[in-house]
Structure 1
């Protein structure tokens, strides 16, 4: 490559770089509304008209330079950087031409304020440096014949004026950024509230679905067992068939009542917020004997044992223990087979309640399903919410066992095993 070709390439690269930089500077920095544009036009027009007239009255050429420092202020907010550099260039031309200070020099301060408020931070710092250099240039030209004390006084006064204008603009910029940050935080907080509300609705739907599953599955299991038993005993023992039908009716009515109570929670949530002392109609430990009697009436042999010193439990913990026992008995009715014996054991320990539901049926021999169903998942979720754990699976000697450990006091986190 010849030296001329390299020169052309370097010149093209330099030109492209300069063009890109100028394009970045000249590009509009912010969008402003029609009202703001009208105000900027009126403001710059007023300064140009009145101060321009004064400048023309003092000196013709100086008046033209004054117009050059005032007219660009129309774009001081949309293009603060090029406006400041154009006004500064006109001021330097005024200094080189030896023209005295004009009223249009006010445009320098207005442009400096605009770039410190609306311009980029790096250009704002450059503008402050240019303003300081302008103070030195003005002092050396316009007060060169004065006493050194007067020169220092004017230098300090002009420097304080330039820095004060720049600092005021920086303060407004900082305040504007702070307000914008607060607005963004408010918008984000509103988004978070909407997201939390949607999550709360989803969790509530899941809770209701789990509750309905527990009630319907347990009630239907008992009703199916009683219906099969009543059909079998209809001819040989009409009394047993009548008893089975009565149990089916009682179980259906009880399940329907409980399901209505749970669905009624949707309407009671608002009233619960107004009256937090109103109790929720949910079963607990005290309802277990009635549940076990219903299962016994369905033909399942159930032993109920309580060890330790019983205590009053929180409503959530009592409901969790009740649902775990209910689901365990329901699974026994479904999978244990005829003649199975079930044991429900509550152990009130020092720090936690242990709930055990086990049977000696054939549940262990049933092939596991690829879908764990809602029952076991529901038990684990309930225990996790209460800070406890649930283990469920076949026993070594046959049968199936569910063991739940529920702490009385909710720790920092619960586990699911």
Structure 2
């Protein structure tokens, strides 16, 4: 019953089904049967002659049938119903039993008319009040059996219109509450991001700064060490370079959490413009990186550029750590509606104990970044030698 009532209170007539539903039949059918009973009673207990008997029942059906579509087209269906009721009276049938269907027509006008529903409902009630005062079976307009039904029709239209307004106000209040809840959630998310940014700054910034300072101290000590410590010196150079590179990237990540686009020192977010700088850092660590970018990649959106940068950074880091390669090639180009990023090297692939291509955390991170934009990643050994990371990202121009 609750579901049926909600459908009756439907505020938007255009969303009603074009084919009458079971609810429509369940509402119209009983009232139609009641009107047919009224026609039978009026024809059997009246003392005046009346036209062909079955015609009264046909007019009842003609008045009821349009009401099956009352929720989608309330005004036309009410007009057809009133026309059939008026035909019943003009034809000379005693009483006005089909007018019981006008209750449903007035309710539909009040419930489902987007504009002027109350006015239409009151006009329908006035017409039904006027009909019994016309020949051939004229009655005084102030008679109770004429005025009371008409007043009841008008009250039905008023109640239905009030129910529609309450429904609209309720929906508007729900939308306002939903918008307020989303706003509160957004504020909480911003506060949580700021808290995370503070914690990351307190923990990581201090730690990375200590690593950078201590690696510089170690390098100064290694300057006076024997030549046999050259490998240790190279390792410390790598540590210091990584620490110095991590500081601006950490600041950029913290600014992103705080909701600021540029970093605090004005450094732009990592993108394709920083690939040469990234490659130079790997060259200092002993991996010669060749970068080749197609001209059209500079039109990519910042988000795609940032994702491509991070994928390239992670792929080159894996090459430096696991592939035992001396040369790597990085290329970005457009192929159809896809940005294709390739990272190849001349190494011998992951060494013993290195993460496999399907389970390494670096490759997992690369796949997650690509899939977040709707892209995909392939990684594995090349036919002759070396390793290949192939990432395909949707092409999005700014």
Measured against the shorter chain, the TM-score band is 0.3 to 0.5
TM-score, normalised via structure 1 length = 0.46
TM-score, normalised via structure 2 length = 0.48
